[in-house]
Structure 1
Amino acid sequence: MNVLIIEDEVPAAEKLERYLSRYDSNINVLKKLTSVQDSVAWLKQNQEQVDLIFMDIQLTDGKSFDIFKEVTLSKPIIFITAYDDYAIDAFKVNSIAYLLKPITFDDLSQSMQKLTSLRENLGNAPQNTGELNMVLQNLSKKNYKTRFMVKLGEHIKSVTTNDVELFYAEGRTVYLYTVNNRKFIIDYKLEELEELLDPVQFFRANRSFILNINAIEDVVVYSSSRLKVTPRLDLNKEIIVSREKVSAFKDWFNGL
């Protein structure tokens, strides 16, 4: 098996290579790369030689997700990172595992066994590569919540996520706002909603708001490099994207 390691921490890359050799002495590490730029250049020329990619998320010149903007990767990927914030993004691509540093030999072994199991189920013939990638992508898909039950007086009704403009938390109470500017109290915390909602459609802008991409009227640069979002519904509240979320918001707003 030919493996590519994309990792900007030399000790971590060397440790991973030792683990791979310990797991299977026939594994061949083709290359160890440390940056987005070098990875893009190398993969454009050599991707067909690779059977598996180990990929750190934070690299010397950006996040490894930037690689996917330049290269269409068709190989299974095992992400290794010190952060758990990017799990959802990782599983949008051909990821079969998401390992948190410091990884152990057992972590690596379980990930490799998962890959072996997938390949055994599909067969190892070259013509099954596309089928393997399809299975990997299907495994990474998550069933997100599509509707919420809300109370209207003595009645209950169902609101689809497409009809949700935003979610707003005020103290311990969380409100769901609909396209017709109605609001309902729901029995969820914003932290729970983050896990239940499709991240392509919804984004948590700050401690109080989760926004629907289709509900945004305008975005302007605010003080201290923050962003101010104006929803299309008539909401007498200011929505400011937290400074630490600005970069992620731009990626989300841009469809990345």
Structure 2
Amino acid sequence: MNVLIIEDEVPAAEKLERYLKKYDTDIQVLDRLNSVKSSVQWLSHHQQQVELIFMDIQLLDGKSFEIFDQVKINTPIIFITAFDEYAIDAFKVNSIDYLLKPITFGDLSSSLEKLEQMKKDLGSNGNAVDINAVLSQLQQKSYKNRFMVKLGEHIKSITTDKIEFFFAEGRNVFLFTNENRKFIIDFKLEDLENMLDPQTFYRANRSFILNIEGIIDVVVYSNSRLKVIPRLDFDKEIIISREKVQAFKDWFSGLN
């Protein structure tokens, strides 16, 4: 597989190339670019040679999203970045995955395996793989699976299976883990709705997004509403309005 790396940090690009060779010695890195300008020039002439692009978001002369304004990219992309807040923008383009630095070999392997499996599925009849079909199907299944949070001077990555619910209070949004720890995150609930797997997470009201695994009971409440009992002991009630009861039931029963 031919790969292009767009990354302005030399150590990060070198580490990524080592991981790629470790994953598959047949992977060829055609070039390493570090700016929007050089990427636009390269892709304008050589994109047909590339099967996968690894792209940092913050480059020497701007954000990599500026590349898409100047050249049409028909190649799958895996974003690798330290900036968690750009996830939504990444998923609007040809994003296969969104990996947060520092990446691990396991992170990289999971992303490459996802792309390989989709190619196998779409090419199982012996026909050439339609890369647009790969992009379409992968993007439909691409949801954020971890969040970067700060713990004092430290940075921690929390996977979504460890999250009980998200709670908004004032201008702040908090993530609560299954260890009953609370972290503030730089997303609005409206943003999170588009980033999270709707089979697992549900926007209950203006204050809560719930993980179905974090619900231990649902009871009928006054005025035809529902009250959700979370697994965590929390001092705020989680109420499903009468207008949302049916939608909640559909989600809770797996119909949506």
Tell me the TM-score range normalised by the shorter chain.
0.5 to 0.7
The aligned residue for residue 132 of structure 1 is: 134
SS of the equivalent of 2:130 reads helix
Percentage of identical aligned residues: 58
Distance 1:125 1:67, change over 3 A: farther
Is the 2:118–2:134 contact (alpha carbons within 8 Å) kept by the matching residues of 1? yes
Amino acid at match of 1:3: V
Specify whether residues 4 and 172 from structure 1 end up closer, same or farther in structure 2 by C-alpha distance, changes over 3 A only.
Answer: closer
Question: Deviation at 1:127?
Answer: 5.2
Match of 1:191 in 2: 188
**In the alignment, is the contact (CA less than 8 A) between 1:57 and 1:80 conserved in 2?**
yes
Evaluate the alpha carbon distance shift between residue 192 and residue 130 of structure 1 in structure 2; reply closer, same or farther with a 3 A threshold. Answer: closer
Assess if the C-alpha contact under 8 Å between 1:17 and 1:29 holds in 2: yes
Q: Give the match for residue 94 of structure 1.
A: 94
**Range moving further from structure 2, 130-139 or 69-78:** 130-139
Count how many residue pairs are aligned between Structure 1 and Structure 2: 155
Structure 1 counterpart of 2:24, which letter?
D
Question: How far is the alpha carbon of 1:111 from its aligned partner?
Answer: 0.7
- TM-score, normalization by structure 1: 0.56
Separation in structure 2 between the aligned mates of residue 193 and residue 28 of structure 1, nearest angstrom:
40
C-alpha distance 191-38 of structure 1, shift in aligned 2 (>3 A): same
TM-score, scaled relative to structure 2 = 0.56
Matching residue of 2:80 = 80
The C-alpha deviation readout for 1:174-198, integer Å capped at 9, x for no partner, is: 9xxxxxxxxxxxxxxx832332369
Equivalent positions of 1:171-190 (< 5 A) are: none
One-letter amino acid of the counterpart of residue 22, structure 1: K
- Separation of aligned partners in 1, 2:94 and 2:141: 9
Give the aligned residue type for 1:58: Q
Alpha-carbon separation, structure 1, partners of 2:115 and 2:52: 9
Cα gap change, 1:172 to 1:60, in 2 (>3 Å): closer
For residue 108 of structure 1, what is the amino acid of its counterpart?
A: L
Opposite residue 132 of structure 1, the aligned amino acid is V
In structure 2, the residue corresponding to 1:73 is in which secondary structure? coil
Structure 2: distance between partners of 1:139 and 1:191: 21
- Residue aligned with 1:80, SS: strand
Counterpart position of 1:24: 24
Q: 1:141, CA displacement in angstroms?
A: 8.1
Displacement after TM superposition at 1:94 (Å): 1.1
Shift in CA distance, 59/172, structure 1 to aligned 2, threshold 3 Å: closer
Cα displacement string for residues 26-57 of structure 1 (whole angstroms, at most 9, x for unaligned residues): 00000000000000000010000000000000
User: Does the aligned pair in 1 maintain the 2:4–2:32 contact within 8 Å?
Assistant: yes
The CA distance in 2 between the partners of 1:80 and 1:128, in whole Å, is 25
What's the secondary structure of 2:188's corresponding residue? helix
Helix, strand or coil for the counterpart of 2:42? helix
| Alpha-carbon distance in structure 1 between the residues aligned to 2:143 and 2:21 | 31
Deviations 1:76-111 (A, max 9, x none): 110000110001111111111100001111111111
